[in-house]
Amino acid sequence: MSATALPHPSTRRTSGTRTAGIIVFLVAALVASGGAALVGVHRGADGDGFHTTGASTLATPTAAFVSDGVDLGDDPTWLFRNGHLATLRVDAAGSDGKPVFVGIARESQVDAYLRGVAVDRVTDFEAHPLAVTTDRRPGRAAAAAPATERFWARSSTGTGPRTITWPVESGSWSVVVMNADGTPGVRARVDVGVKVPLILWVGVGLLVGGAVLGATGAALVYLGRRRT
């Protein structure tokens, strides 16, 4: 019976080097494509760096639009400092020149302020243009004029376009759009934008990482062929 010849160890090492190089090169392509996608998203922002939903007229017979509270957690604290994570911008203008109020505050404070007041809670939304899904909460109480309350982290009230810009903080927060006097029957043109500075830096980092991995993969493939 004849013996089967085994590959020389150096041949196996050469083949393994080429295979590793191809795998590294494929990973590099995936990493770089992710970085390019993030850089593309960043380039789609407006002149101030915000990605917006597009303006749309929202109307409710209740006293307010209230966004569901978004819990942003508490850690790491450095990520929330000076808008490192994100900055939120909300633009609102009352229809027919009617004074409007837009503000953001902790969810618990908003709930206490609007306890017993009929509101539309925004549970979901779509962009371009802005369209919201709401859950109506009935109530008979009257809301006090929102600008008289002191718990708002950011707020603006009056006729014409009103804008709030808020560096995202840890905790659970709600955005509120109301008539300036707190009366029912809100009709306003609203646009929401967010700026995420990390998008560009993460995208650039992935592009650089993809380039380094690609060079490593190409070097491994070259070494494998050269040994052969």
pLDDT of residue 79: 47
pLDDT of residue 153: 95
Strands (DSSP E) contained in 61-130 are 64-67, 70-71, 87-94, 100-106, 119-126
Higher pLDDT, 131 or 93: 93
> pLDDT grade, residue 83 (50/70/90)?
very low
Going by C-alpha positions, the residue among 54, 52, 60 that lies closest to residue 131 is 54
Compute the distance between CA of residue 122 and CA of residue 106 in angstroms, rounded to an integer: 16
Compute the distance between CA of residue 55 and CA of residue 89 in angstroms, rounded to an integer: 12
- Choose the weakest-confidence range: 81-90, 134-143, 169-178, 212-221: 212-221
pLDDT of residue 126: 86
Ramachandran area for residue 5 (φ above 0: left; ψ -120 to 50: alpha; else beta): beta
- CATH class label, 51-196: mainly beta
> pLDDT grade, residue 106 (50/70/90)?
very high
Mean predicted confidence (pLDDT) in 96-115: 94
Percent of the residues in the chain that have a pLDDT greater than 90, as a whole number? 42
Q: Which residue ranges make up each domain of the chain?
A: 10-44+201-227, 51-196
Handedness of CA 172, 177, 179, 183 (dihedral sign): negative
pLDDT, one tens digit per residue, over 138-155 is 999 999 999 999 999 999
pLDDT, one tens digit per residue, over 13-69 is 566 666 766 676 577 667 656 656 555 555 555 567 787 888 899 999 999 999 987
